[in-house]
Amino acid sequence: MPAYAFLAVLLLVVLSGAVGYFVGRGSATQQAVDARTVDAVRREITALRALVARLKDIAWDQRELDPTLSTIVIDEIREHEKKELEP
């Protein structure tokens, strides 16, 4: 997989995460939150996490094509995962 494809997929993940974040944040500020909206946001977050895990696996599996880019992608994902676990 070319280096530009990794960057394109990473950009897609970041943009999808931002959309999911703002949808979730907007839902949280409403007094009466629709249960279907909450479920949709949870499904989106679950899907995004699965996508990020898959990208991490792809970057690891294809590291011989571009070791530097693979390292950057994996490090960025790990850094985000660490931040997500912090209280």
Residue recorded with tokens 């997989």:
1
Would the pLDDT of 30 be above 60? no
Would the pLDDT of 43 be above 90? yes
Structural domain count, the chain: 1
- Candidate from 9-18, 23-32, 49-58, 74-83 with smallest mean pLDDT: 23-32
Angle at 69 between CA 52 and CA 60, to 5 degrees: 50
Amino acid identity, position 46: T
Q: Could you tell me which residue, 47 or 9, shows the higher pLDDT?
A: 47
Which domain range does residue 11 map to? Answer: 3-85
Would the pLDDT of 10 be above 60? yes
The per-residue pLDDT for 29 is 55
Each residue of 44-78: pLDDT tens digit?
999 998 999 898 899 999 889 888 988 998 898 88
The per-residue pLDDT for 17 is 76
Residue recorded with tokens 């946001």:
41
Looking at the whole model, is its pTM more than 0.75?
Answer: no
Residue pair 56/73 in contact by the 8 Å Cβ criterion: yes
How far is residue 87's CA from residue 75's CA, in Å, rounded to a whole number? 20
How far is residue 62's CA from residue 76's CA, in Å, rounded to a whole number? 16
